[in-house]
Amino acid sequence: MRIAIASDHAAVELKADLREHLIELGHEVADLGPETADRVDYPDFGYKLASVVADGTAQFGVALCGSGIGISIAVNREPGCRCALVSEPLSAALAREHNDANVIAMGARLTGVDMAKACLDAFLSTDFGGGRHAGRVEKLSHPAL
């Protein structure tokens, strides 16, 4: 799979760890930055990530910032993205199974690297359940339905 990953300055180290983890798992990774811990604005990187997921350049996205909250809000401004902020593997799996999330968000100041890897693994190994969830997911991108 092709997976895009982006962060703000607070999550540069976690981004590097998760990028390497994804590569070890055999995924193609598009690192959208930043490269250093110099201060940046998370919306800029959230919007960049959302763009490549929404247009299909990447199948999934990984969004990281200090808390995971700000960047997840930025990603969710794109109607083609369903970004779920998670902190443990069950919520990561349910985000895929029930909500067909295509972006996972985590907070580097709140989630350790081992837990972040476990969340990412659960997210990527879970398929969307469809069925009763499909109509609800459709409404996330088309509220008038």
What pLDDT score was predicted for residue 145?
A: 58
Residue 58 burial (10 A CB sphere; 0-12, 13-18, 19+) = buried
What's the pLDDT at 135?
83
Which pLDDT score, from 0 to 100, does residue 11 have? 98
CATH code: domain of residue 111: 3.40.1400.10
Q: Among this protein's residues, is 65 annotated catalytic?
A: yes
3-state secondary structure of 105: strand
Candidate list 9, 21, 27, 98, residue with the active-site label: 98
- Which residue in 88, 116, 138 sits closest to 5, CA to CA? 116
- What residue numbers bound the domain in which 53 lies? 2-141
> Residues 65, 81, 83, 119: which is the catalytic one?
65
Provide the pLDDT for residue 123: 98
The whole-model pTM stands at 0.95
Sheet holding 28-31, edge to edge: 28-31, 2-7, 60-65, 103-107, 83-85
Catalytic, 21? Answer: no
**Number of folded domains in the chain?**
1
How confident is the chain (145 residues) per 10-residue block, as mean pLDDT?
98 98 98 97 98 98 98 96 98 97 98 98 93 84 67
